[in-house]
Amino acid sequence: MKITFCCTGTEPGPWLAGLRAALPQAEVELWQAGASPADYAVVWAPPQQFFDEQVQLKAVFAIGAGVDALLKLRLPAEVSFVRLDDAGMAVQMAEYVCHAVIRHFRELDLYAGDTSQGRWTVHPSHQRADFPVGVMGLGVLGQRVAQALRHFEFPVNGWSRTAKELDGVHGFHGAEQFNAFLAASRILVNLLPLTAETVNILNRDTLSRLQPGGYVINVARGAHLVDDDLLVLLNRGQLAGATLDVFRTEPLPLAHPFWRHPRITITPHTSARTLRETSIAQIVGKMAALGRGEPVAGLVDVGRGY
């Protein structure tokens, strides 16, 4: 069995060592132009040339939960594409989102500003019932986030393409229930996959439908958000603020107004990072399952976009 590794922007050494240790019987090599055909590939944002040359692949494994960059390429129809379905990312995402929600709800940025100026000020407290959180996207990561928020006793709404039932979460689904979901939410968390249907879904119209004092947390993809629309709503006071971890251009250009906006908190796409050892174990397990003809979680529906 031959495995080729092609992950743009990733240090290959530790991944190659980990894959070789987990699969000592396999030949594991870093892909280079003109390389001999492989049976399986481990990839992240490979060039089109990779698929043009690797014409004997049985399956391709992406080292992430999102596959939108992969689906922009011309892909062979007979190959199975598999994404990570957790690999340690769900708990990280839950930590990040809960931190952002609580920081906003408890006005911790306001207190930080007070104390930095030597002001000892106690602000009025708020009721959790007045801060319902809407989670867009109820896959593995979205479900973990919704469940984590319930532990802090926030009302939680969930929206997905098809109906899903989660304990303690008010479920909405489909286009016909989307506006009702937005109207029921004050804090909006975006965990949707990026598809043709979800590009620009966080726009002036949708964000205006949130309850007064709405707050936006985007941890999915930068192309979900219309940047200028967010800025307009923030500057009008229609939205209270935003926490953004993903952007249309990364790294975020220094001239971008998000850097300087007082109501925007930004982080450098670090809400849930791929954990190498856990990911390798998952990929190796899925390779073995496919070899036995068994179904695997995370199989990508190319037509659907995730």
The Cα–Cα gap between 103 and 258 comes to: 19
Q: Are 186 and 131 a contacting pair, CB within 8 Å?
A: yes
Catalytic residue check, 304: no
Please provide the DSSP assignment of 16-69 as one string: HHHHHHH-TTSEEEE--TTPPP-SEEEEES--HHHHHH--S-SEEEESSS--TT
Residue 39: Cβ-neighbour burial (10 angstroms; 0-12, 13-18, 19+): middle
Catalytic residue, candidates 83, 221, 224, 276: 221
- Looking at the DSSP bridge assignments, the partners of residue 239 are 214
* Residue 221 annotated in active site: yes
Buried b (16+ CB within 10 A) or exposed e, 52-64: ebbeebebbbbbb
Choice among 170, 173, 263, 269 that is catalytic: 269
| H or E element in which residue 158 lies | strand 156-160
Q: How many Å separate Cα 61 from the centre of its chain? A: 17
Residues with a known catalytic role: 221, 269
